[in-house]
């Protein structure tokens, strides 16, 4: 029984013992979760519109951040730099559509997935060649002051990040549900050829979606980059997004958010309270295990579409 | 005029189902084997080991891993991103067994570790009964991260070495050193070559028989497969088992006959992706493709590292790395656009053209 | 007899070599009793009962959405009915797993072809032999010996089917590349490879021209006559149904509205009404 105590007993007594600390842990987790959600959002957008799992989303985050920092280092003022970066991301979307997506219409999903991995490699090399590969600091003037909230310590930065995330999600959800373009995007996700045959301009749709994903990547890049510096590890976020998508469903915008929050909180709690018993660094795999267990009971995620197979 | 089937009639089903039904193919493969087993060692006598160490040995070992992954992903249609982890299981199992029982023949230990890797593969393959596609990939990712974390954290796995690395102790087979610092590159090359030859043959036998068809049926349309009587559970688990066995043995060879020592980083997610690239570029659902893909991915960095010098352009090391990434990435995309069925299909098309040569059709 | 017909007949005889060919004996092979099936809010089948006698060709017809495919899916265990029983070869049960159905002698084809596109014709038909192959994977890894003998034995059988269906020329072609009509034939071959007692055909002639339909009819009749295979057939083409079936079941909105020989069913007022709007050309 002695070996099980750290697992079954201690964590709960610790939680019970200092609820304020627990609340802080939960909040930190939530805020990390918002970051995850932002990344997952980029994935959902592209997946929703084209059934492509864009592995390069992580690199796009890095690339956007690198471009922004690079421009700022050359003396470009913040707001202009952001605007220019958005232009670059749109340019990237156009290039991707023209050089890659157009030629892979109706290929099986795994081929498209592999192509995005190729894209990721390319962007990584390209970004680092142009802007250099050392860690960069990103400061666009978001205040990072401690804020007290009912006895719990937060930073204003985190709050702003959370709000930004919330606004983005809300806006995107509306976009998909209410607008004609949103409908067209959903049609494209279902069947490329069918969408073409009813006159939906595939090309425009894809450019639109990838551009929006690019902007989401930029926002994500700003948030993550400001927190922990702009560096290569930013691109590995792509892999973290997978468990988020599993939980939330690959095609659901609200799902990406909720999934991100759950993973963020879950990870933090597991690391703080169960981590010491297991030697630490549980965060490496906890999210995936959680996702896997989830998959066994609800394969389509919380909000994903039920997969019905017919013969 | 060289490559003609005219006059070669198959008078039995056995002949028709042979691995190489066309006579010229048989000669070609025989020639390749002779070059591989005899020609290369002769050529390399007295020269430095670069070709072995940087090219041939990793190529062969990774072919083995690629075949393993292709059986699972290319033939059975079960996407796996955990190749690195299964290779790690093979490597660490070999390490533990051989340090605990040094008298055991190392070849036997390799095979035993393969079995252990197979068991782990079955465990992480269980979710495949309920989930498919990308979702299954997540389960394998869980395996990838969890297993590496385990080998990192639990010191028992690396015999409490302070550096956290495992090192291959010297072992002999028939009096010749095959692992350890004194094992010559030539010996290690031949050992690995032997493994690959046998395992490739076994893989080919599996895929041309009943189990290969069952896997492909599950891959192409699992509902229909179930309806005609193919059971999902045993077939999927066997796919994971055999695939992990191959990857486990490859992992063991990776440390014991190639790197000599390593930490868990050697088996990280990048390795999993590399092997996946190999089978995509080489051709999903093709044993030959696995080998061609492994050759491509192994040779490319070597080529990219050395080519600038050859052409007279020197480049800063880090700039070169960025360039490599860019070229690598673009090549993948170009490949997928031009020939999504991979090098194996290109090879097939070449043969078909050869059949008709010098006529256009 | 033309040369082609002679070849066809001898191929069919080869196929039928070991198996005695009973004509419609009158014994019930399969009976469905009070089957109801619903998905969510949709009632696909309501209290449907009918039987299929050994050796006969039973047609299941009805307007679109009548539940015909669902009925076949229930018979071979893909769907589980909410109520009712299926009695097959004397054993009554509510549910059956599809692979159990396959092993007990039920084979089928599908409305939208369910062939394995990555494999050749030969391999696809060989998968139909799957339930009869015994050697485990260790023998197969070796290949030499028992596994190889088994492969050859079943290959011979599959070649008989290929001869029978006249698809020798495409045996090594990946089925994904075949035209629609040939794919349907290969699918029939795969079903036949399992040497079924009951063959379920879901719109085997959909999308075919007249010649292809004649060929398919010929195959179906030969399978029934030479091998004694009982056949349940969903088909929209009325002339085909009237010509080749022994008895007909008519479904409409999941309910059985007629059951009997073709001539009787054709003149049934309920049936005519169900099809109102769908012109039936008088022959």
Distances (CA, A) of C216 to A74, B240, C187, C221: 75, 41, 12, 9
For chain B, how many residues are written?
Answer: 361
Residues 332-361 in B contacting A (C-alpha not used; CB under 8 Å): 332-333, 336-337, 340
To the nearest whole Å, the CA of C112 is away from the closest chain A CA by 7
* Residue A308 located in a structural domain: no
Determine the structural domain holding residue A98 and report its residue range. Answer: 5-297
DSSP bridge pairs for A154 = A147
Least confident among A1-10, A183-192, C61-70, C133-142: A1-10
pLDDT score of C19 more than 60: no
Bond into B358 cis (ω within 30): yes
Residue B95 pLDDT: 93
pLDDT score of C18 more than 50: no
Give the best residue of B198, B207, B228, B246 to mutate against chain C (max C CB count within 10 A): B228
Residues 6+ apart with CB under 8 A from C154: C126, C129, C132, C133
Greatest extent of chain C over all pairs of C-alpha atoms, in Å: 64
Q: Do B142 and A288 touch (CB under 8 A)?
A: yes
* Residue A108 located in a structural domain: yes
pLDDT score of C243 more than 80: yes
Confidence of residue C12 (pLDDT cuts 50, 70, 90): low
The answer to whether residues C31 and C87 touch, using CB atoms and an 8 Å cutoff, is yes
Confidence of residue C169 (pLDDT cuts 50, 70, 90): very high
Q: Do B142 and A115 touch (CB under 8 A)?
A: no
To the nearest whole Å, the CA of B217 is away from the closest chain A CA by 15
- Taking the Cβ of residue A124 and every Cβ of chain B, the question of whether any pair is shorter than 8 Å is answered with yes
pLDDT score of B11 more than 80: no
Chains near C, with 3+ CB pairs < 8 A? A, B
* Residue A65 located in a structural domain: yes
To the nearest whole Å, the CA of B220 is away from the closest chain C CA by 5
Domain boundaries, chain B: 50-356
The answer to whether residues B124 and B139 touch, using CB atoms and an 8 Å cutoff, is yes
Residue A231 pLDDT: 67
Q: Do B226 and C98 touch (CB under 8 A)?
A: yes
Give B242's contacts in chain C (Cβ within 8 Å).
Answer: 137
CB neighbour class for A65 (10 Å; exposed up to 12, middle 13-18, buried from 19): buried
pLDDT score of C276 more than 70: no
Query: What is the C-alpha to C-alpha distance for residues A18 and C273, in angstroms, rounded to an integer?
Result: 76
Q: Which of A43, A49, A92, A88 has the alpha carbon at shortest distance from A216?
A: A43
Over residues B208-233, mean pLDDT = 89
Q: What is the DSSP string of A7-29?
A: HHTHHHHHHHH-HHHHHHHHHHH
The answer to whether residues C204 and C188 touch, using CB atoms and an 8 Å cutoff, is yes
For chain A, the domain total comes to 1
Residue B119 pLDDT: 96
Confidence of residue A224 (pLDDT cuts 50, 70, 90): confident
Distances (CA, A) of B260 to A141, B102, B177: 50, 17, 13
Q: How many CA atoms lie within 13 A of B92 on its CB side?
A: 28
CATH number of B50-356: 1.10.3470
Q: Which of C188, C168, C187 has the alpha carbon at shortest distance from C176?
A: C187
pLDDT score of A310 more than 70: no
Q: What is the pLDDT of chain A when averaged over all its residues?
A: 78
Question: How many C-beta neighbours within 10 Å does residue C204 have?
Answer: 26
Give the CATH number for residue A86.
1.10.3470
Least confident among A216-220, A283-287, B7-11, C166-170: B7-11
Q: Do B131 and A296 touch (CB under 8 A)?
A: yes
Give the best residue of B210, B234, B240, B243 to mutate against chain C (max C CB count within 10 A): B210
To the nearest whole Å, the CA of B185 is away from the closest chain A CA by 32
Query: What is the C-alpha to C-alpha distance for residues B330 and B19, in angstroms, rounded to an integer?
Result: 35
Confidence of residue A311 (pLDDT cuts 50, 70, 90): very low
Q: What are phi and psi of A92, to 5 degrees?
A: -60, -45
Tell me which of B323 and C157 has the higher pLDDT.
C157
* Per-residue pLDDT tens digits for B160-182: 887 888 888 888 888 787 887 77
* Residue A170 located in a structural domain: yes
Structure tokens at A191: 């069947």
* Per-residue pLDDT tens digits for B59-74: 999 999 999 999 999 9
Instruction: For strands B261-262 and B166-167, give the pairing.
Output: antiparallel
Q: Give ∠ CA A211-A216-A222 in degrees, rounded to 5.
A: 125
* DSSP assignment letter at B312: T
Tell me which of B324 and C213 has the higher pLDDT.
C213
To the nearest whole Å, the CA of B224 is away from the closest chain C CA by 6
Determine the number of helices (DSSP H) and then strands (DSSP E) in chain B.
15, 4
* Residue A171 located in a structural domain: yes
- Taking the Cβ of residue C79 and every Cβ of chain A, the question of whether any pair is shorter than 8 Å is answered with no
- Taking the Cβ of residue B229 and every Cβ of chain C, the question of whether any pair is shorter than 8 Å is answered with yes
* Residue A23 located in a structural domain: yes
Query: What is the C-alpha to C-alpha distance for residues B336 and A100, in angstroms, rounded to an integer?
Result: 9
* Per-residue pLDDT tens digits for C22-64: 445 678 889 999 999 988 788 889 999 999 999 999 999 988 8
Structure tokens at A22: 């627990």
């Amino acid at each position: 029984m002695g070996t099980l105590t750290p697992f079954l007993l201690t964590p709960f007594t610790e939680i019970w013992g200092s609820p304020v600390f627990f609340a802080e842990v939960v909040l930190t987790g939530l805020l990390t979760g918002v970051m995850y959600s932002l990344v997952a959002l980029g994935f959902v957008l592209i997946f929703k519109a084209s059934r492509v799992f864009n592995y390069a989303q992580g690199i796009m985050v890095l690339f956007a951040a690198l471009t922004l920092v690079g421009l700022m280092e050359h003396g470009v003022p913040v707001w202009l730099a952001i605007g220019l970066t958005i232009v670059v991301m749109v340019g990237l979307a156009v290039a991707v559509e023209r050089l890659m997506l157009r030629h892979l219409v109706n290929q099986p999903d795994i081929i498209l997935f592999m192509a995005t991995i190729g894209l990721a490699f390319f962007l990584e090399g390209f970004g680092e060649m142009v802007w250099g590969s050392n860690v960069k600091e990103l400061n666009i003037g978001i205040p990072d002051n401690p804020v007290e909230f009912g006895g719990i310590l937060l930073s204003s930065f985190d709050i702003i990040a959370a709000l930004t995330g919330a606004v983005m999600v809300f806006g995107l959800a509306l976009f998909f549900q209410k607008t004609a373009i949103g409908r067209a995007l959903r049609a494209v996700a279902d069947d490329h050829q069918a969408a073409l045959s009813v006159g939906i301009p595939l090309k425009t749709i894809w450019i639109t979606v990838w551009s929006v994903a690019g902007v989401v990547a930029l926002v994500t890049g700003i948030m993550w980059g400001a927190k922990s510096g702009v560096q290569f590890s930013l691109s590995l976020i792509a892999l973290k997004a997978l468990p988020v998508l599993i939980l939330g469903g690959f095609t659901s915008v609200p799902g990406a958010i909720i999934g991100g929050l759950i993973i963020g909180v879950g990870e933090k709690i597991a690391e703080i309270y169960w981590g010491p018993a297991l030697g630490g660094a549980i965060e490496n795999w906890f999210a995936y295990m959680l996702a896997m267990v989830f998959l066994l009971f609800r394969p389509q995620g919380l909000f994903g579409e039920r997969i019905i197979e017919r013969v | 005029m060289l490559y003609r089937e005219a006059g070669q009639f198959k008078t039995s089903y056995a002949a028709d189902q042979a691995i190489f039904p066309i006579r010229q193919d048989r000669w070609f493969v025989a020639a390749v084997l002779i070059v591989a087993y005899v020609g290369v060692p002769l050529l390399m006598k007295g020269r430095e080991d670069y070709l072995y160490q940087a090219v041939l040995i990793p190529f062969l070992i990774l072919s083995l891993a690629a075949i393993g992954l292709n059986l699972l992903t290319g033939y059975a249609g079960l996407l796996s991103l955990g190749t690195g982890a299964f290779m790690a299981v093979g490597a660490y199992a070999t390490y533990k067994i051989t340090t605990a029982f040094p008298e055991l023949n190392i070849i036997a230990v390799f095979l035993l570790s393969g079995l252990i890797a197979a068991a782990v593969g079955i465990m992480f393959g269980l979710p495949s009964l309920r989930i498919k596609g990308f979702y299954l990939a997540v389960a394998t990712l869980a395996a990838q991260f969890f297993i590496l974390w385990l080998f990192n954290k639990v010191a028992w796995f690396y015999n409490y070495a302070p550096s956290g690395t495992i090192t291959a102790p010297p072992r002999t087979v028939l009096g010749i050193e095959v692992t350890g610092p004194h094992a010559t590159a030539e010996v290690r090359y031949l050992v690995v070559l032997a493994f690959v030859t046998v395992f490739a043959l076994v893989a080919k036998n599996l895929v041309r028989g009943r189990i290969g068809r069952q896997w492909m049926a599950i891959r192409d349309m699992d509902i229909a497969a179930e309806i005609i009587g193919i059971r999902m559970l045993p077939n999927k688990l066997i796919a994971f088992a055999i695939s992990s066995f191959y990857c486990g043995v490859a992992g063991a060879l990776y440390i014991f006959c190639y790197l000599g020592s390593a930490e868990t980083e050697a088996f990280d997610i990048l390795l999993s992706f590399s092997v996946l690239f190999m089978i995509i570029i080489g051709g999903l659902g093709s044993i030959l493709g696995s080998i061609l893909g492994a050759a491509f991915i192994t040779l490319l960095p070597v080529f990219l590292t050395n080519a600038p010098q050859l052409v007279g352009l020197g480049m800063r090391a880090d700039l070169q790395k960025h360039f490599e990434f860019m070229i690598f990435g673009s090549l993948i995309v170009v490949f997928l656009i031009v020939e999504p069925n991979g090098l194996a299909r290109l090879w097939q098309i070449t043969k078909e053209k050869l059949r008709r040569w010098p006529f256009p059709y | 007899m033309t040369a082609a017909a002679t070849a066809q007949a001898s191929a069919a005889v080869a196929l039928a070599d070991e198996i005695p060919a009973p004509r419609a004996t009158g014994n019930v092979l399969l009976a469905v009793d009070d089957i109801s099936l619903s998905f969510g809010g949709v009632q696909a089948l309501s209290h449907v009962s009918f039987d299929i006698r050994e050796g006969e060709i039973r047609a299941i017809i009805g307007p679109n959405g009548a539940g015909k495919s669902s009925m076949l899916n229930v018979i071979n265990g893909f769907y589980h009915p909410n109520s009712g029983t299926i009695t097959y070869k004397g054993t009554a049960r509510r549910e059956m797993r599809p692979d159990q159905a396959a092993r007990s002698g039920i084979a089928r084809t599908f409305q939208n072809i369910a062939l394995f596109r990555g494999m050749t014709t030969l391999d696809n038909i060989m998968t139909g032999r799957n339930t009869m192959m015994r050697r485990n994977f260790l023998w197969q890894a070796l290949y030499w010996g028992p596994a190889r003998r088994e492969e050859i034995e079943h290959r011979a059988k599959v070649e008989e089917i290929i001869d029978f269906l006249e698809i020798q020329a495409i045996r090594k072609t990946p089925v994904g590349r075949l035209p629609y009509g040939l794919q349907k034939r290969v699918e029939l071959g795969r079903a036949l490879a399992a040497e079924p007692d009951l063959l379920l055909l879901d719109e085997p002639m959909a999308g075919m021209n007249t010649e292809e339909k004649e060929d398919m009819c010929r195959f179906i009749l030969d399978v029934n006559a030479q091998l004694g295979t009982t056949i349940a057939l969903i088909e929209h083409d009325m002339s085909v149904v009237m010509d080749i079936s022994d008895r007909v079941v008519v479904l409409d909105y999941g309910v059985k509205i007629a059951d009997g020989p073709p001539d009787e069913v054709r003149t049934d007022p309920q049936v005519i009404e169900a099809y109102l709007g769908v012109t039936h050309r008088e022959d």
